[in-house]
Amino acid sequence: MKQNLLVLCVLLALAACSEEIDRGKEDSIKVEGDRVILAEADKATFLKVAAVGKDMGSVLRLPGRLIWNENRTVRVFPQLGGRVVRIQAEIGAQVKAGQPLALLASPDFGQAHAETRKAQADLKLAKHTLERNRELLDAGVVARKELLQAEADAARAEAEADRAARRMALLGGEGDGSYTLRSPLAGVVVERNLNPGQEFRPDQPSAPLFVITEPSSLWIQLDAGEADLASLKPGTRFAIEVKQYPGERFQGVIRHVADFVDPASRTVKVRGEVANGDRRLKGEMFVTALIELPPTDTLHVPANAVFLAGDKRYVFVEEGAGRYRRQEVQVGPERDGRVDIHSGVRESDKVIAEGNLHLIKFFKAADQSPRLAR
């Protein structure tokens, strides 16, 4: 029993000492309106100040992804239903424009070939009938009406034959019902989605049979914040870093900035172009784009100097030794650990960059619970 009483007395004594220490801290810090005054300014080593300065330029870092240059990429889809007989180009193959990719057997192509031959035969007959009617008209055997009808029939037959011939030229093939799928441009086969014996139909949704691109130029898709739009314009040059090649940078240029903001992520899609003559960069790589931003007259402070009280943002401005004024500020975007300040401070001011949480703790203004805005 006596031991319990002894322990209780010790605890009460420690609590009294702790309260005395806390009261001593509170007495050493006074709050007068929007000002915090430290009675012993020489002991405020826990506070670190930083000068308000102008923007000396920085580097905007944006995440991105390399994709195929769509101006140099083609996706080959089947135009007719059929079956794969033979594949003539593998993934990674360098192909020329018009080079065969695959041989396909297609009943649809056989029908198209038959229609073409029929159209040519009808055209031949229509021309022969027209010439005969002209001769008969000259001899006075037929009326001009029959000649005009023959001319109309010949014109229709010629148009049908021309249409059929153009379709056959577009498809390419042979009279046995097989036709060759050819590359529309020169490049590298980067994707193949067919196998020998595979059946396909053009009216069914499917992946392209081949994807061919010229990889010496790639596009880069960047996600930019709304605050960065002023720095992103077509023609702006940038560098990219890739973790697969540490210490190296590749050069690119912005080609297009989207006209809308993604409602979910609140980002804007920016498309750039990157030279890739040595083909070291690969499609679907994740990269980081670095855009040099020039110096401006905008003032900025360390991001940790800004805190939120209610719905407003403030900084503590040093007025003298141990005297700090809570100052409302209008802030801009944060970049590289610094925040743009549009109003509230001057270039010559000094603000608390570290330790302002200690002042916030004792601040007795109307908004008693400020929070750091990170």
Structure-block tokens of residue 363? 């601040």
What's the pTM value of the predicted model, to 2 decimals?
0.62
| Structure confidence at residue 107 (pLDDT) | 64
Helix, strand, or coil (residue 176): coil
Q: Enumerate domains of the chain plus CATH numbers.
A: 28-57+297-372 (2.40.420.20), 60-71+213-292 (2.40.30.170), 107-176 (1.10.287.470)
Cα–Cα distance for residue pair 237/273, rounded to 1 Å? 10
For residues 65 and 252, the answer to whether their CB atoms sit within 8 Å is: no
> Who contacts 90 (Cβ-Cβ below 8 Å, separation ≥6)?
189, 192
| Structure confidence at residue 235 (pLDDT) | 92
What pLDDT digit, counting tens, does each position of 284-293 carry? 999 999 998 8
| Structure confidence at residue 340 (pLDDT) | 85
Helix, strand, or coil (residue 302): strand
> Who contacts 77 (Cβ-Cβ below 8 Å, separation ≥6)?
202, 206, 208, 209
Low-confidence ranges of the chain (pLDDT < 70): 1-28, 41-44, 107-126, 128, 130, 132-133, 135-148, 150-151, 154, 156-157, 159-178, 362-374
